[in-house]
A and B are shown apart, each in its own frame.
Chain A
Amino acid sequence: MNETSDAVKATKAQAKTQAKPQGKPAGKAAATTSTDRLGRLLALVPYVVSRDAVALDEAAAAFGVTEKQLIDDLNLLWCVELRAPDPYCPIDLSYEGGEITVTEAESIARPLRLKVDEASALLVALRMLAGIPDLQDRDALSRVIAKLETAAGAAASQVSSQVTVEVDAGGDTVGRLRQAIGAGRRVHLTYYVPARDENTERDVDPMRLLVVEGNTYLEGWCRRAEAVRLFRLDRVTALEVLDAAAEVPAGAEPIDVDAGLFRPSEHDVRVSFELTPQGRWVADHYPCESVEELGEGRLRIVLRTPDTRWVRGLALRLGDQGRITAPADLAEGVRADAARALARYETAGRAAHPGGPDDPNVPAGTRREGR
C-alpha cells in the first residue's frame, strides 16, 4: 500500500463514505449483470487515461450507455476506497464541464487482459476476412492477427484456430463490383430469380457487398424497384459496369441484415409440408414458421412465402421426400405440374423424339400413374 496516504485522503474517504448511497440505480442497468458492469468500469478508467481527457458524450457512445449511466459509473469509481491498513482512495477523477479526466488510477490504469473467448471471437473473424480473395487489406490483416495473438497469449491463439469460418465470396463478379463501388459507378445486372425461373434486367447503384448466411450479396439502390435491394451474386447472370455515376438517394437506408434476411409479410401464404426422414433437410435449409416432429423422423413444417411458385418447385424437387398438405389447391397444382411433365415423357421418346403432340393437357389416365 501507498505509505503516503495522508490525512487529506482519509478525509476524502470519510466524505465519500458519508455521501453513500447516492442516486437511484438507473432503470436500464437492471438488465446488465454486476459482472458486465464491473467489466465496463475496469475499462472506463484506462479508456480515459489512454486519451488524457474524453468528453462525456463521446465516452457514453463508446461504451454504449447513456450519459446518465456513465456519470453513475464515474461516481462509483470515485467512491472506491480501501480501509486497511489506512483509509485510502486510489482513484481520483473529474467530469467537470462535460470532460472526463482521471488524475489517479493506480492499479487499474491498464485494461484487463482479453479472455480466451474475446480474443478468439476477433481472431476467428480476422482469419475469415483473410480468406476473402483479392483483398487489398491483407497486409493489415496479417499484422493485426499477429499483434492480437501476442497480446492474447498462446491459449487464445490455439483455441481460435479450432474454429473456422469459410467465406466463399464468389470470384470475378465480386472483384468487379468492388471496383464499381470504389469508383462510384452504376451497374447493369441480368439477375436470375429462381422463384419465378426468370431473368430480370436492372440498373443498380451499388452501396456495399455483404456475406450473409454463406452467400455474397450486393446491396444497392435498384432503379427498377426504386428501393434498396439485396442481390445474391451467384444469381447474377451478367454484369456490366456502366459509365454513369451511381446515384444512391440520400434517404436510402442499408438493410438491417442482422435482423435476418427473411422478412415475413402479411400477404404471405402459409404452406404446410409433411417431410420424410430423407426430406428433413428442408427444415435446415429454409426459415420455417413452425417445425413439428411427427415421430419416426418425420416432420411437419410450415413455410411462409409471398410467391408460391418456388414452393411448387420445392415440392417437385422433393419427390417422395415430402409433400404439401395445405393449402389443398397448391397441392393439387403441384400434382398437375407433375402430371403435365409426365405426359411430355410419354410423347418424347428417348433418342428419337418425333411426333409428340404439343399438347399441355394431361391425359385423364396419367393422374394415378405411379401408384
Chain B
Amino acid sequence: MSRRKTERLLNLVVCLLATRRYLTAEQIRRAVPGYPDSDEAFKRMFERDKEELRELGVPLEVGSDQQGGGGEEIGYRIPPQAYELPDIHLTPDEAAVLGLAARVWQRASMAEAASGALLKLRAAGVDTDVPTAVGIEPRVNTGDPAFPALWEAVRDRRPVAFDYQGIGRTQVARRHLEPWGVVSRRGRWYVVGHDRDRGESRVFRLSRITGEVVPDGPADSVTVPADVDVRRIAFDRGDPVAEPRPAQVLLRAGAAQGPRRWAREVRPAAGDGWAGWDEAVLTFRDVDRFAPYLARFADDVVVLDPPDLREAVIQQLKAVLAGSDR
C-alpha cells in the first residue's frame, strides 16, 4: 500500500465533495497535490484513481455546467447527498441485533462486506457492541469457491457459465445460467436461475461447480421474473412424496440406538433363537434412502417386512461384500 496514493485519493475525495461546480481534469490536477507533471502519466493515474473511488462506492458524477451548446469540457464532482449515509438512529436493542447480524458471516466476501457496513454505521454514531437477548448465534459459511462470483452475478444481473459435476454424472457439463438468486439450507448453498441450455429454471449446488464461474453476457441483462420465489424453486422438488409406510424390524437388544429413537411398538422378539432381540415398527417413505440407512447398522438390524425394503437392504449388503473384488 502506498501512503502517497491514499493521501492523493483522500485529497481527491475532499476536493470533489467540496465543489458545487464540475471540475475538469485540469482543475483537479491543479487543486490536488500528488499528480505527476507529465500529461500522459497524469491521465493514466487519474483514470485509475476514478476507478478506485468507484470501487469504494464513492458516487463520482460526470457532467458539465454549461447546458447544451456542446464543446464544453466535461468535469467531475461528488454530490454530498449521494455520498453521505442518510441519518440512521438505532435504539440499543436494534443496534444489538445488527451487531449479531454482522457476526453471522464466517468467511471472505460477505464477512468483509458486513464489517465494512458496520464500520460506516459506527461512524454514523451507532454503537454496535451491545449484548443481545436473541440467545442464539447463527454462523453462515460462504466458503464455496463459486460463491463470490455468483453473488456478484446476481447483484449485477449478469449471465454466467460454469462447469458442473452432477451427482451420478460421469462427465462435467458446461452450463449457462441467468442467475436469479442464491439460497442456503442446512449449511449448503444453491444457485437458482434460468438455464439457457435447458430453457427452464434450474437449481445448482455450489459445491458441485468445478472451476471458475465466468461472466457470460453483459450486466443488467438478466430479468428476474416478478413472481419468482427462488426458495420454492430450490427446495420444492415437486416429486410426489411417497406415503409413509410401516416397516417391521428386529433390533438387537441394547444396540441400534439410532432407529430406537423413533421406533414404535418395541417389544421382545417372539421367535425361537431371537432371545436378546426386540421387534419394532419403524416408519419410512423412500426405500432408496431408508435401506442404506438401515444397512449402516449391520447385523444389529434385520428387516422382516415389507419385502421390497428387505430385498433392498440385502442387495445393499451384497454390494458391500462385492465391492472388494471390483
Query: Closest approach, in angstroms, between the C-beta of B161 and any C-beta of chain A?
Result: 19
Say yes or no: B168 contacts A112, CB within 8 Å: no
Which A residues are in CB contact (< 8 Å) with B19? Answer: 1
Q: Name the residue in B82, B107, B310, B320 with the highest tally of chain A Cβ atoms < 10 Å from its Cβ.
A: B320
Say yes or no: B273 contacts A34, CB within 8 Å: no
Say yes or no: B136 contacts A209, CB within 8 Å: yes
Which B residues are in CB contact (< 8 Å) with A132? Answer: 134, 136, 138
Q: Does A242 sit within 8 A of B, measured CB to CB?
A: no
- With beta carbons under 8 angstroms apart, the residue of A44, A45, A340, A351 that contacts B304 is A351
Q: Bound complex: CA of A35 vs CA of B49, how far in Å? A: 10
Which B residues are in CB contact (< 8 Å) with A335? Answer: 320-321, 323-324
Which A residues are in CB contact (< 8 Å) with B15? Answer: 82
- With beta carbons under 8 angstroms apart, the residue of A21, A129, A356 that contacts B138 is A129
Say yes or no: A82 contacts B11, CB within 8 Å: yes
Q: Does A96 sit within 8 A of B, measured CB to CB?
A: no
Say yes or no: B181 contacts A128, CB within 8 Å: no
Say yes or no: B304 contacts A350, CB within 8 Å: yes
Count A-B contacts at CB 8 Å. 439
Which candidate, B36-44, B53-61, B62-70, B238-246, is the interface stretch facing chain A? B53-61
Q: Bound complex: CA of A353 vs CA of B9, how far in Å? A: 83
Q: Does A248 sit within 8 A of B, measured CB to CB?
A: no
- With beta carbons under 8 angstroms apart, the residue of B95, B124, B273 that contacts A110 is B124
Which A residues are in CB contact (< 8 Å) with B22? Answer: none
Q: Bound complex: CA of A17 vs CA of B33, how far in Å? A: 10
Which candidate, A193-201, A221-229, A264-272, A300-308, is the interface stretch facing chain B? A193-201
Q: Does A62 sit within 8 A of B, measured CB to CB?
A: yes
Q: Does A60 sit within 8 A of B, measured CB to CB?
A: no
Q: Does B165 sit within 8 A of A, measured CB to CB?
A: yes
Q: Does A4 sit within 8 A of B, measured CB to CB?
A: no
Assuming A118-B116, A168-B186, is B307 touching A350 (CB within 8 A)? yes
Say yes or no: A182 contacts B135, CB within 8 Å: yes
- With beta carbons under 8 angstroms apart, the residue of A76, A126, A214, A344 that contacts B185 is A214
The chain A residue with its CB closest to the CB of B224 is A162
Which A residues are in CB contact (< 8 Å) with B324? Answer: 323, 331, 335
Which B residues are in CB contact (< 8 Å) with A17? Answer: 33
Q: Does B282 sit within 8 A of A, measured CB to CB?
A: no
Tell me the dominant secondary structure on chain A's binding face: helix
Say yes or no: B165 contacts A43, CB within 8 Å: no
Say yes or no: B18 contacts A345, CB within 8 Å: no
Say yes or no: B320 contacts A338, CB within 8 Å: yes
Say yes or no: B273 contacts A356, CB within 8 Å: yes
Which B residues are in CB contact (< 8 Å) with A327? Answer: none
Assuming A198-B257, A278-B167, is B85 touching A358 (CB within 8 A)? no
Q: Bound complex: CA of A99 vs CA of B193, how far in Å? A: 53
Q: Mark B88-132, 1 if CB is under 8 A from A, else 0.
A: 111101111110111011110111011011111111110000001
Say yes or no: B132 contacts A137, CB within 8 Å: yes
The chain A residue with its CB closest to the CB of B293 is A317
Q: Does B180 sit within 8 A of A, measured CB to CB?
A: yes
Q: Mark B304-324, 1 if CB is under 8 A from A, else 0.
A: 110100100111111111111
- Contact residues of B with A, CB < 8 Å? 1-7, 9-11, 13-15, 17-19, 27, 30-33, 52, 55-59, 80, 82-86, 88-91, 93-98, 100-102, 104-107, 109-111, 113-114, 116-125, 132-141, 151, 154-155, 165, 167-171, 180-188, 205, 207-208, 224, 230-231, 250, 255-258, 261, 269, 271-276, 292-293, 295-300, 302, 304-305, 307, 310, 313-326
Identify the 8 closest CB pairs spanning chains A and B, nearest first: A370-B318, A214-B187, A214-B186, A50-B125, A107-B17, A213-B187, A118-B117, A162-B181
9 inter-chain pairs at a CB distance below 8 angstroms, sorted by A residue, are: A80-B10, A113-B83, A129-B134, A132-B136, A163-B182, A211-B139, A213-B186, A317-B293, A341-B302
